[in-house]
Amino acid sequence: MKLNGAQILVDCLKSEGVKHIFGYPG
């Protein structure tokens, strides 16, 4: 099953968290 960019991004957000992805404090 092939994932598109949006699905990969959502999975990353769930795994790492928005703060880790974008690197914004707080």
Structure tokens, 18: 């928005």
Read off the pLDDT of each residue in 2-26 and give the average, rounded to a whole number: 68
**Spatial distance between the Cα atoms of 26 and 9, rounded to a whole number of angstroms:** 20
For residues 18 and 26, the answer to whether their CB atoms sit within 8 Å is: no
Residue 9 belongs to domain spanning: 1-26
pTM (whole model) above 0.75: no
pLDDT band for position 11 (cuts 50, 70, 90): confident
